[in-house]
Structure formats: C-alpha cells, structure tokens
Structure 1
Amino acid sequence: MRWIGALCLGLLAVGAHADPLPKLKLDPHRVAVAGLSSGAYMATQMQIAYPDVFPYAAIVAGGPYACAGGKLDVALSSCMKGTPAADVSALVTKATQRAQSGDNGALKNLAHGKAYLLHGKDDALVAPSVAEAGAQFYQRLRDTVPGLKGLQVVDDGNRAFAHNLPIAATGDDCDKSVSPYLGHCGFDAAGEIFAQLYGKPLHAVGDAKGQLQTFSQNAYRVDNVDPLLADDGYLYVPPSCAAGKPCGLLVAFHGCKQNAAAVGEAFVKDAGFNRWADAYDVAVLYPQTRASMAPLNPQACWDWWGYSGGDYDTQRGVQPRWVIHVVEQLGIAAPR
C-alpha cells in the first residue's frame, strides 16, 4: 500500500507548486466568458448572474439559461435533445424575475452586451434546436426587457461540425465528438470568438508567447465551501499583461470530459485561445472541474442542472461565487 501514500504525496506536491494568481491591470470593459457544452451553459449562467461583470459571452453548443430547472431528466431531454422543446418565453421571464429579486445582477447592464452563439449542424449530442433556443433566449431578452435594444446577438449555426470546439487545423474528426473534443475543422473558433467579443485585434496573431501557469483552486474557496472543482486551474497571461499594460480577461469553461484530468492540457493549450489572447491583450482563465459520484457528476461537467445545490445558476451558487471571487483576485471588482 506504500504506492498509494506516495501517489497522495505526489498529488499534494502538484498543488503545492501551483503559483498564486497575479494581480493584473484589468480593463472592466473587456471582460467576457466563453464555454463549450456544459461550459456553454456555465458561460450563460455567469453572464445572466453577473451581467455587470460579464457583458460579453460566447456560447458553443449550449442552450438557454436555466433550461434544466434544477432537474437532471430535463437537462438530458429538453436541454440536450430538444424534446420536449424548452419554453424560451418562460426562461426569459425567470431570468427577468431573478434580476428583479436580486438573485442575479441587473439585466440593464447588458444594454451594450454581446452574445455570440456558435453551434454545428452535425451536433448529435446537443441538438441544433437546443442551441437555436439559446439564441432565441437572448433575442427575446433583448426584445422584451426595457433598455436592452443594444444587446448584440449573433446566431452562428450554419457550420458543419459535430459536438466539439472547431480549431484551425484540418483532420478527420470534425464530424465526430471524440476526446479531447477539439475538431480539426479548418475553422478557428477561438479566433472568431475573440473577433465577435472584442472586435479587431491589437497585434498580429502568431504563436502564443505568454505564460500558462497553474494555480490552486482550493486556495480561492469562498467561506471555505467546496465548489466541487479540481485542485488546480490554469491562467494564461500574455506578455503585454505580464508587463503591466491594460488587459482584458476571458474566462473559458471546458466541456464535460474535457477537464485536465481527462484530456491533460489539450484544452488549455490547443483550443487556440492563447495565441489570440496575445493578439488582443487578454488574459485567459481556465477553471477546471472534477468528476465525482457524490454528487453525481461522473463526466466532470460544469453544474448546469443542480448537482451543487438549488442555487447553482444564480449569484448564490457555489461555482458562480467561486468564479467571481477568482476574477476579483485577478483585478476586477465585482459589484456587491
């Protein structure tokens, strides 16, 4: 049994060598969230919960906010297969009520926001109709909530790819959903996400030259509550940000079975975000989930159906609270 003890010591050593998060000179007007699949749902949850912090969101292969309603069976049916179809109008009403009650931030902060929704026609895991419902959610939010006429909603759903994040390289897996869920499609989704959220690049794009560091996610627990995340997360800092220049921030949420324990550093290194981060002067935060059987989350998904508690998609949720706390540590003051 000595090998078990040695393994445990080794795992502790990994966390011990993780660096603390740096303080960056962050521009609060250039903060965004993005995610794939369960990470897409998480990105939507973060934007609707904290619209004053995350005015920009990119949702890849995800559906509308609060789709699951805290029920796993609804998540697996309406929010993945699209049967029965989600009631988008009811979800818009729920989002509006939560903003009015203070469970979430004021939606008026999305007056100049952006929602970019990317999904593939060949997605067999999250049906295109579900992703279209996600776009309809933002469109109806824009059209029904006073003051949101300026919310930009882009529905990019006519590209041929499966349930993955397309990358610029080409290969034979664009029409498949296989680990590490980076489809070699000849389409640079990361570049398109940056363009949609941040506009034109500040510098020419090239190879990533910044620093990718690990940090202890446990060190940033809120009130010592377990957010059901992995021990370590990742942060990519472009050279300009490390030099103290003003910098944006993108929080990038991986999908199910795409955390570092499952795919190594494939998502944090190969998805394409880092080289565009250099071109835009934007740091990229890559938080990491963990798989568990209690609560039931064997595929290490972000919580978009309630395994972490009933408040999972509001400001009181343990994962949203953890994310906003880490963003504060990096240099963005979240409203209280």
Structure 2
Amino acid sequence: MNLQACIFLCCCSLEAQFQLPSYNVDQDHITISGFSSGGYMAVQMHVSYSATFRGVGVISGGPYHCAWSVPESERTFPELANPQIINVTKIQAIAEGLSEKGQIDSLEQLKSTKVFLLAGSLDTLIVPEVVEKTRQFYTKFVKDSNIHFEEIRSVHCFPTMNYGAECEVDHVKLINNCAYNAAFKILNHIETNIIEPQMETTSTAPLRFNISETLLTWVNLTAIGMDEIAYVFVPDQCKSRSIRCKLHVALHGCTQGVSTIGEDYVLYTGYNEVAEANNMIILYPQAKIIPDVNPFGCWDWMGTTGPLYATKQGPQILVIMKLVQHLTGITIL
C-alpha cells in the first residue's frame, strides 16, 4: 500500500469513528425555529416538547397539527395552505386531547414560552393569513405579551440582512436579501440578553456530522425523509465546556436541504453570527429529497410519516430530539 492510499484510509477511518460530543448547555435556554415546512415542524416540536423548548420562531409556517383539522382527502398541498379550511378551534382541541393522553407535554408548559411569527406580504405559497392562524392557535396557551407577529414585504423566503436574491423576487434557494436579519429578530425575542452581531462572518465553521454514527445506532432516515448528514455550529467559547451555552435548532424549508442547495441555509441565514456573539450552539438537521418518500425535501407537516408525526413519537421529531439530548447531555426522552 502506498503512502497516499494509507493516508486516505486512515482519514476515512477516523472520520467514520468521529462522534459529536456533548456540550455544557443551559437547559433553560433551548429554543427552535424554522422556515416554511421547517416552521410547521418547529411549531410541532415546540408544542410536543414544550418542557424543553422555551421559545419558537416561525417564518411562513402554519399552526400545530394543521393537517388534522381537515378531512383526510384534503391533507395535501396546496389545500393545507388555504387559511379558509384551517380550523383553529379544532386544532386547539386536538392539542388538548394529546396533552391529556401524554402524547405531548402539558400545555401549561407553553404559557411562559415565547413565540415569534413572521409572514411575507408577497408570499403566495404560505400566505400571511396562514401565519395568522398560527398566532390564533397560540393565543389559547401562551401569554399574549410573549407572542410577537411581524409582516414584511417579501416573497416566500428566509429573509437575511444582505444575502440572497432581492426580497421581492422568487428564487430557487428561498434565501433572500431583505435588509432584515430574521435570525437575530427571532432569537432576540425568544431568548434573553441577545447581542446583535457586528461581524458578517464567524471565526469558526459549522461542523458536518453523521447522525447514525453520532447516536451510535442505525436509524432508517431514508424511510422518514431525512438526510444522514446534519450540521452543528459551535462557537469557540462553547467548545471548551467551561461556560454554559444556549442551544437553538434551526430547520430549513422544503428544497433547502444540503443535498439540494448545498450549505447555503447552514452558512448564510445569519444564525451563526448571532450564535457566536451570544455563546449559542446551532443545530441544523437536514430533510432530504427522496423519490416516493419525500419528493420535495420537506419536514413532515402533513402526516406522511404516520399519524404520530406531530407528537413526541413523531419519527422526525424523535431523531431531532435524540440529537438535542446528545448535544446537551440532558435526559429528555
């Protein structure tokens, strides 16, 4: 074996054995956000694990268990994006029933959490009225003063301060330059004492890791429309574990996974800059386009992974929560 081949095999072997470590995470500062299908999933995870997630940010996302508020024949897109058919009262009752059965955390846990909602006035895919339904859902369970709703002049996109296509122009990557730092706006509301970043870059890069290798167990991620690859951004000050850091889970929208648009969502949405300035770790799970399973690379907001999709036993939710548990070292499941 020549030296080059030996180096290649050794490097591959080390990479295969790499395990993402646990960090010193403050369990009172774990939050989540998402865009589009990621917004729906963020709501589902916030409601299901409200004892864990102390806040949620939703960009162009609808209310909890939205699909179950309509007849099964209408549980398709774009029907589910029609605000006229979303029955908020019914969804609230569904949530209460699931809470009583222990399939989601007690809804009492939601009261003190914080909610940030953002809609685009030019968004024709998830219209602002759908995001308003999300606000209406939360009003029964969260203090009014903890809910913040904004609407900006944008198409269906993740708005950034200075990256992407023009704010009013549809673009395949769905990340647009709106002179609006959505990542900061979200985290500034749902977290405490957040410093606005002054730098447009970070001193460290997100880490790419394999989910099955990290969890030390094989998970059939293909069957539930997820990628084996995920990312985590860990500021230098959090790597030593000498200080307690915050943790935020950031969920991309449909067709925004790394297998589709590369690492743009991980690198350019603005989360990392906020994280570095505020001792915060960012976890980026990845949905994946898989024919006949997840054709658009969405997070499951319609029940495609089964009837428990929006509960503590939802297949995608469980994988993400196992990653949260691993990163924090806190027993959640």
**TM-score, normalised by the number of residues in structure 1:** 0.87
Cα shift readout 1:241-290 (whole Å, capped 9, x = no counterpart): 11222100010000000000111010000111001001111100000111
Cα 1:177–1:25 change in 2 (3 A) is same
Cα 1:335–1:72 change in 2 (3 A) is farther
Cα shift readout 1:12-58 (whole Å, capped 9, x = no counterpart): x6995584212100001110010000000010010011001112100
Q: Secondary structure at the match of 2:141?
A: helix
Asked whether the 8 Å contact 2:21–2:327 carries over to 1, the reply is yes
The one-letter amino acid paired with 2:147 is V
Aligned to 1:7: none
Specify which of 313, 316, 320 is matched with residue 316 of structure 1: 313
The one-letter amino acid paired with 1:239 is D
Cα shift readout 1:102-138 (whole Å, capped 9, x = no counterpart): 1111122223100101111110111111111011111
Aligned to 1:232: 229
Greater CA drift, 104-113 or 205-214: 205-214
Matches within 5 A, 1:81-160: 81-82=82-83, 84-142=84-142, 149=143, 152-157=146-151, 159-160=152-153
**Unpaired runs of 5+ in structure 2?**
1-11
The one-letter amino acid paired with 1:165 is F
Cα 1:303–1:192 change in 2 (3 A) is same
**Unpaired runs of 5+ in structure 1?**
1-12, 143-148
Matches within 5 A, 1:221-300: 224-227=218-221, 228=224, 229-244=226-241, 245-295=243-293, 297-300=294-297
How far the C-alpha of 1:307 sits from its partner, in A, is 1.4
Aligned to 1:167: 160
The one-letter amino acid paired with 1:59 is V
- State the alpha-carbon separation in 1 of the partners of residues 153 and 14 from structure 2: 40
Aligned to 1:4: none
Cα 1:328–1:299 change in 2 (3 A) is same
How far the C-alpha of 1:78 sits from its partner, in A, is 4.6
Identity fraction in percent: 27
Asked whether the 8 Å contact 2:156–2:174 carries over to 1, the reply is yes
Asked whether the 8 Å contact 1:15–1:216 carries over to 2, the reply is no
Asked whether the 8 Å contact 1:113–1:150 carries over to 2, the reply is no
Query: Alignment RMSD, CA only?
Result: 2.5
Cα shift readout 1:282-316 (whole Å, capped 9, x = no counterpart): 10000011112232x21100011111111111111
Q: Secondary structure at the match of 1:154?
A: strand
**TM-score, normalised by the number of residues in structure 2:** 0.88
Aligned to 2:9: none
